[in-house]
Structure 1
Amino acid sequence: MCGENMTHANARREISGAEQTKLATQLGATEVPDRPVTWSGLAGRIEPDQSPTLEAAGATIRTELAERLDGEVLERERDRLAARIERLPEVRETGVPNEPHGCYEAVADPGWRLYEHLAEGEFFERLDETLPRFTPTHIERTARELVLTTPLSAALDDVGFDESEKTALLIAVANDADRLARWVPSNQIPDGVEFDTETVPPLHRRAMGGALLWIRGLDRHLWQNEVLVTEEVLDAAVAHTKTMLGGLFLSATAACDIATTGRLTDEQVTAAFAAGTAVQIVGQEELLHEVFYVTDETRAPSKLR
């Protein structure tokens, strides 16, 4: 259960003009459109990459992993995840949770079931072995393919992502190459690091599991720190939760496709998995800094002063 002591202000992340221009430039738009730059607007201004790397990776994933997946389980939990994403405005309306296990934990439940199903078939390990590492070139190709994949755009529409929110997902993929490059597949961690690399989970598992753990921790964090929490912190909590679940939804959509319909091309499958992971990475890092790190500048004023 969540309390009702605060009302919704604006949980949508504002996108700066500089971010919009950078996105259009990164994706090689034939011309930088007048603001606002949107997913739909970019789709008509960029050319497909026709990357053999994306195609080969997608074909390998489809061939080697389709039989490890249960399409019925994936579709059921993906639909449940979609329903939880659509309920996020209600979560924001209720404000600070009134107990340490509540609305955010419930929102993440279908995501955990998707995560567990993928983990059972060593799906994450194979993604690490198959998908390219995050580099500026791979990130650009991924974002470009994502923009041009109408079924993925429509799927996000169906679960309540408007143009601004979808564009924010693109920015999380295309504009954060340096941040994403720090996330290294477990089988590519160099020798000589100060920890046991044998215990490091695959990159895509770290991203999805990490996102779900951060969401699970929101109820307790907000409940324990209620006196410090502002409307802006609550807005950020919901916005970044939606971002992470949106990334998970992209990954789940790709997994469903290779287990059932096969409507996505091999390039689109690769783009969906890579973009889904990228969005979950950026979302959890932003959540950490904007919600879990409460500073004197961002905290609510003390009532004792």
Structure 2
Amino acid sequence: MTNYERHTAVTDEERREFLKVIGVAGAVGASGVTLGELNSTVEPSNVEALSAVGAAVSEEMAGGVNPDLLATQQAELATALSAAPAAVESGAAFREPGSAFDDIAEAGWLTHDHLAETGFFETLSEEMPAFNPERLTTSTQAFLGSSAATAPLTDLDLGGTEGVDLVAPIINQAEKLSHFHWIASGDIPAEHQLADVLPPISQRAAGGVLLWLQNLDDHLYQDQVLLNEQILADGIWEVRGMTAGFYLMAEGAKAVSADSDRFTDAELGALFATSIALQEVAQRMLPVHMHWLDEAARDPGNVKIDSISI
């Protein structure tokens, strides 16, 4: 593996299953399908709930956040993400504790804090219904069927086939998202003591992404002896997924604040649902790929016996 930014962690079988669920199996080739093909092939349906979410968030947040600040931080996020794989490939990340992934997190914290201060996370969490497989299928179809909604992924070099692989785990892991990751704010029992201190769930998704990224440079340096090329490639793929989800969330917030007509209400609802799901899926998979390593996963050839002292 010599080019980490061209690696995805989606198998051909997972891709075929994904295309089947969204209703385009047979209409496109599974191995080389692109976002552009799906934009013109996927037929969104039952988008009324998505329209309601988009309209409600737009009404609540119109003029509420600073779109210029978000755009500036998005540019920094894209630059930092683009630079990170090279730091790993060059070996710089292993010679001393680096800041390749912390730079991505730093570019995101200002956005996170601004959206928290303006009430964006609270509004989004209140308006978005709980995830379930049917809703995730509907939102994913609406997202993929919209060239406007998928266009921001090209800023992160995630267009084409990689953009399809980015979104596929939302469907393939829909049951896990439903049971373990998203509980609508209104469904948290009022008597539950944590309900008053937990931040909105969309904020927890975004903050979790940034905390994982903030920790990753030290993990690479301290535990490099355990990490082979496949582990690194899979981990970087999840980093790209987390960052893409965060980036899309900021894109939606920017659009509603500027009162832009770039997205329809349904596209905006799909954009928000997809952005949160991407953040949740990728940060669940990052520790699976990079932290919870068994003997079969790690490469024993990485261990330098002559460097071990007893």
**TM-score where L is the length of structure 2:** 0.88
Alpha-carbon contact 1:61-1:127 (below 8 Å) kept: yes
Structure 2 counterpart of 1:84, from 70, 80, 83: 80
Q: Distance in 2 between matches of 1:10 and 1:85?
A: 12
- Give the letter aligned to residue 177 of structure 1: A
With over 3 angstroms needed to count, the CA separation of the structure-2 counterparts of 1:162 and 1:88, relative to structure 1, is farther
With over 3 angstroms needed to count, the CA separation of the structure-2 counterparts of 1:73 and 1:9, relative to structure 1, is closer
Task: Kindly tell me the number of residue pairs found equivalent between the two proteins.
Answer: 298
- Give the letter aligned to residue 294 of structure 2: T
- Give the letter aligned to residue 287 of structure 1: L
Q: Shift of the alpha carbon at 1:136?
A: 1.3
Alpha-carbon contact 1:39-1:170 (below 8 Å) kept: no
Alignment correspondent of 1:252: 250
Alignment correspondent of 2:305: 304
What SS is found at the alignment partner of 2:206? helix
Q: Distance in 2 between matches of 1:51 and 1:155?
A: 21
With over 3 angstroms needed to count, the CA separation of the structure-2 counterparts of 1:124 and 1:97, relative to structure 1, is farther
1:170 aligns with 2:164: no
- Give the letter aligned to residue 126 of structure 2: E
Structure 2 counterpart of 1:40, from 36, 39, 51: 36
- Give the letter aligned to residue 195 of structure 2: T
Alignment of 1:114-263 (within 5 A): 114-181=111-178, 182-183=180-181, 184-190=183-189, 196-260=194-258, 261-263=260-262
- Give the letter aligned to residue 111 of structure 1: G
Alignment correspondent of 2:61: 65
Q: Distance in 2 between matches of 1:150 and 1:79?
A: 20
Task: Indicate the larger mover: 46-55 or 10-19.
Answer: 10-19
Q: Shift of the alpha carbon at 1:159?
A: 2.4
Q: Shift of the alpha carbon at 1:75?
A: 1.3
Task: Indicate the larger mover: 211-220 or 292-301.
Answer: 292-301
Q: Shift of the alpha carbon at 1:44?
A: 2.8
Q: Distance in 1 between matches of 2:15 and 2:108?
A: 30
Alpha-carbon contact 2:63-2:256 (below 8 Å) kept: no
Q: Deviations over 1:19-39 (max 9, x none)?
A: 122111211227453322433
- Give the letter aligned to residue 233 of structure 1: I
With over 3 angstroms needed to count, the CA separation of the structure-2 counterparts of 1:99 and 1:32, relative to structure 1, is same
Alpha-carbon contact 1:100-1:220 (below 8 Å) kept: yes
Task: Indicate the larger mover: 237-246 or 84-93.
Answer: 84-93
1:26 aligns with 2:21: yes
Q: Distance in 2 between matches of 1:257 and 1:91?
A: 33
- Give the letter aligned to residue 2 of structure 2: H
Alignment correspondent of 1:8: 2
Superposition misfits of 4+ residues, deviation over 6 angstroms:
none
What SS is found at the alignment partner of 1:196? helix
Alpha-carbon contact 1:85-1:160 (below 8 Å) kept: no
Q: Distance in 2 between matches of 1:97 and 1:105?
A: 15
- Give the letter aligned to residue 73 of structure 1: L
Alpha-carbon contact 1:91-1:104 (below 8 Å) kept: no
**TM-score where L is the length of structure 1:** 0.90
- Give the letter aligned to residue 105 of structure 1: D
Alpha-carbon contact 2:128-2:184 (below 8 Å) kept: no
Q: Deviations over 1:271-300 (max 9, x none)?
A: 111101100111011101110112222223
What SS is found at the alignment partner of 2:23? coil
With over 3 angstroms needed to count, the CA separation of the structure-2 counterparts of 1:188 and 1:136, relative to structure 1, is same
RMSD between aligned alpha carbons? 2.1
1:113 aligns with 2:110: yes
Q: Deviations over 1:248-292 (max 9, x none)?
A: 111111111112233111111111111011001110111011101
Structure 1, unpaired ranges of 5+: 1-6
- Give the letter aligned to residue 41 of structure 1: E
Q: Distance in 1 between matches of 2:74 and 2:3?
A: 28
Task: Indicate the larger mover: 40-49 or 126-135.
Answer: 40-49
The percent identity for this pair of structures is: 28
Q: Deviations over 1:128-170 (max 9, x none)?
A: 1101110112101110111112123222123211423201222
Alignment correspondent of 1:267: 266
Structure 2, unpaired ranges of 5+: none
Structure 2 counterpart of 1:53, from 49, 55, 80: 49
What SS is found at the alignment partner of 1:217? helix
Q: Shift of the alpha carbon at 1:171?
A: 0.6
Q: Distance in 2 between matches of 1:137 and 1:247?
A: 20
